[in-house]
Amino acid sequence: MDALQPDEIEAIHTATLRILSEIGVILEQPEARTLLTAAGATISAQNRVLIPPQLVEWALAQCPPTLSTRGRGGTTVTLGDGSLRWHNLGGARDVFDPATTQIRAATVQDVCTAAQILDALENCTCVTPFFTPQDVPGELMGLAMYRHTLPHTTKPVYGPGVQTARETQYFVRMAEVLGNPSEVTMMAISPVSPLNFPAHLVEAMMEAARSGLPFGALPCPTAGATAPLTISGAIAQQNAEVLASIVLVQLVKPGLPVLYCGRLAMMEPRTGVSVWGGVELGLASAGTVAMGHRYRLPVNVYGFSTNSHTLDLQNGFERAINALIPALAGADELSGIGEMDAGVASSFAQMVIDNELAASIHRTLRGFSTDAEALAVEVIASAMNTTRNFLGQKHTRNHLKSGEILLTRLAERGTWGEWEKRGRGSLATRAQAEADRLIAEHHVPPLEPAQESALDEIMSAAHKELVR
Amino acid sequence: MSKELFDAMRQSIIDGDPELAAELAQKAVELGIDPIEVLNQGFVPGVSYVGEQFGLGEMFLPELVVAGEAMKAAVAVLEPEFTRRGTERQILGRVVIGTIEGDIHEIGKSLVATMLSASGFQVYDMGVDVPIMTFIEKAREVKADIIGISALLTTTMVRQKDVIEALEDNGMRGQVKVMVGGAPVTQSWAKEIGADGYSEDAVGAVVIAKTMMGAA
């Protein structure tokens, strides 16, 4: 599916170059300014940094076409190889319990449990530290999220939301416990829309780049509030924010692997907050994919995304539409496994449901074949000459095995009577039971004792320095 | 004459036209009309209308914001006239507002400031990344009735509590109400840290602030 035609992509690209070279970005961190101006950027009358098209083109030419991370289990995930990958929502505040339909504040234990469940879900390729644990001081929250995710998954673990250079350094030290930080993790940083790069974020970006961490440029504009209300205008601004980030990190470390990320959502016109469930989000994500691919970069956008507070119909249709559109547009990685309530909450049942939904989206992307084997004229002849049905045909068994029909585990496909006999359970109750089973049964190989103590030491040093 | 002028003022607010609102306010000053009358019969009915339409779902936040801007422009023109006459604009209360230290997210806080200001509060917007003691010092300086603290990040939200503690340490907690807001903030968080008010959005914040001042 092409969300944008080639001439539309060029129009957005041209608009982006104008934003960067004529309007500029707010960026006052002295070291970064010096780097940028030495490379050809200039300072506007409004004290913004103007980035010329040649510098943007230079930076894009430095970016490799793929980005890889390796889990401690040994699996390497490469984004940009043409297949679709998934990771979970990062940074949810609350845990939703489908049984009571109540929420509670997330704790460190929930960070661990989420990682364990995500480790078990085959469609979750990389794990982002899930919850913001409220039993940890604010200054340590991001680092604690990463620390407590590591022991509970062998998949690649992405960095937490990091705000400063010091936090970045502690994060890199923890990654070193697993291996070379540039191989075992990646880190995303969000400039503040519109076009604002505060000093502490710039310092974190530069620190990450110096450490060779694969870098995700992750603006989160809200169309109508912190970006133009029109989707194309907001994509152009978001593109400028991504490209400015890329220019900066490539100046620090030429050749650094970069992930083109976008989190563009529309404004709720009555409250001003971001709408995560509206279908415009899926459209904007598809447009974002088209822009990132114009630059031959792997693209990561919102996938599963809803405003719904519970596991209801709204939740289901919003997340399905919002994931399917960018998936069809060719996204390299979708976020959002487990997301609920505009990213504020999650439930373990939701994570399990999303694993199944992701399978349906993969099935959609796979489409169906029209070769002679699939067209099956000989098989039709054979059936017509014998039983006049296809149940006994070898062709049927072969293609059942090769996945022509996606077998679901949680979706109800029985009759009314069978469903009644099983106690009339809903998808949510089946998903919760599956989550409970995974918590009880899914074993994750632990870290080495030396790794555990190394992580504890780093956390305790961070505590001493960062917590007031 | 006044009736026509007042109608035009009302409309300038509804249309969100700051230039026209300022021009009409200037005209009223030149005609020697009492600024209290100008506000109450000209501009405030415009703000009330926009508020009502918003409540009915007929108008949206962007329209509220431009109405607020128009109101601000009118008040700026009328202020010197109040001073000259030795009278004061009737205000509902004084609010010191800002985004907490460590957090540079601006829009939610600015919306609340605009809405409060349009609704008759005197607002001191301290911007973003505001140190805890800056809230306290400004509140003392302007004899604030309310402090509003915004936070977008879960990691910075925890510092809202520090402002309340600092108010207590400085013996000011009894005189100043505290309202908190921002994406991760909830009613239960507000309650836990001992804040006096919380709202999910800017329009709700005005209702809370008015209730705090006994003006709802």
Please answer whether residues B7 and B41 qualify as being in contact, where contact means their C-beta atoms are separated by less than 8 angstroms.
no
Q: Summarize the confidence of residues A346-362 as an average pLDDT.
A: 98
Q: Grade residue A337 by pLDDT with cuts at 50, 70 and 90.
A: very high
Identify the pLDDT of residue A293. 98
Domains of chain A: 67-222+254-366 (3.20.20.480), 373-397 (no CATH)
Q: Which of B104, B154, B201 sits opposite A192 (nearest CB)?
A: B104
Tens of pLDDT, residue by residue over B83-109, are 888 888 888 999 999 999 988 888 889
**CB-based contacts of A259, cutoff 8 Å, min separation 6:** A67, A79, A186, A188, A214, A215, A216, A217, A297, A298, A299, A300, A333
Question: Crossing angle for the helix pair A449-466 and A141-149, nearest 10 degrees?
Answer: 180
Q: Summarize the confidence of residues B62-71 as an average pLDDT.
A: 90
Identify the pLDDT of residue A327. 98
DSSP tag of A152: G
What is the chain A residue with the closest CA to B102? A163
> CB distance A224–B62 less than 8 Å?
yes
Identify the pLDDT of residue A274. 86
The number of C-beta contacts closer than 8 angstroms across A and B is 59
Q: Decide if pLDDT at B1 tops 70.
A: no
Q: Decide if pLDDT at A68 tops 90.
A: yes
Q: Give the residue with greater pLDDT, B201 vs A360.
A: A360
- Of A41-55, A296-310, B115-129, the range with the lowest mean pLDDT is B115-129
Task: For residue B113, list chain A residues with Cβ-Cβ distance below 8 A.
Answer: none
Q: How large a percentage of chain B has pLDDT more than 70? A: 99
d(CA B89, CA B76): 11
**DSSP sequence for A69-134:** EE-TTS-EEEETSS--EEEE---B-EEEETTTTEEEE--HHHHHHHHHHHHH-TT--BB---B--T
What size, in residues, is chain A? 468
d(CA A433, CA A409): 12
Q: Which CATH superfamily is domain B2-85 in?
A: Methionine synthase domain (1.10.1240.10)
d(CA A454, CA B98): 40
Q: Virtual CA dihedral for A121, A127, A132, A135, nearest 10 degrees?
A: 80
- Measured between alpha carbons, how far is residue B17 from residues A128, A429, B72, B73 in Å? 47, 54, 11, 9
Chain Cα centroid distance, residue A104:
24
Q: Decide if pLDDT at A399 tops 90.
A: yes
Q: Grade residue B28 by pLDDT with cuts at 50, 70 and 90.
A: very high
In one-letter notation, the amino acid at residue B214 is G
- Measured between alpha carbons, how far is residue A434 from residues A441, B16, B77, B184 in Å? 10, 54, 66, 29
**Quick one: which of A35, A74, A352, A81 has its CA closest to A197?**
A35
Cross-strand bridge partners of residue A78: A68
- Of A31-40, B50-59, B130-139, the range with the lowest mean pLDDT is B50-59
d(CA A126, CA A154): 9
What rounded mean pLDDT belongs to chain A? 96
Q: Summarize the confidence of residues A38-45 as an average pLDDT.
A: 98
Fold of B94-212: Rossmann fold (3.40.50)
Please answer whether residues B138 and B169 qualify as being in contact, where contact means their C-beta atoms are separated by less than 8 angstroms.
no
Tens of pLDDT, residue by residue over B32-46, are 999 999 999 999 999
What are the domain boundaries of chain B? 2-85, 94-212
**CB-based contacts of B148, cutoff 8 Å, min separation 6:** B95, B96, B97, B98, B109, B112, B113, B116, B178, B179, B180, B181, B205, B209
> CB distance A270–B107 less than 8 Å?
no
Q: Grade residue A270 by pLDDT with cuts at 50, 70 and 90.
A: confident
> CB distance A141–B54 less than 8 Å?
no
Tens of pLDDT, residue by residue over A128-153, are 999 999 999 988 999 999 999 999 99
Identify the pLDDT of residue B119. 86
**DSSP sequence for A276-340:** SSSHHHHHHHHHHHHHHHHTT--EEEE-S----SSSSHHHHHHHHHHHHHHHHTT-SEEEEETEE
> CB distance B184–A344 less than 8 Å?
yes
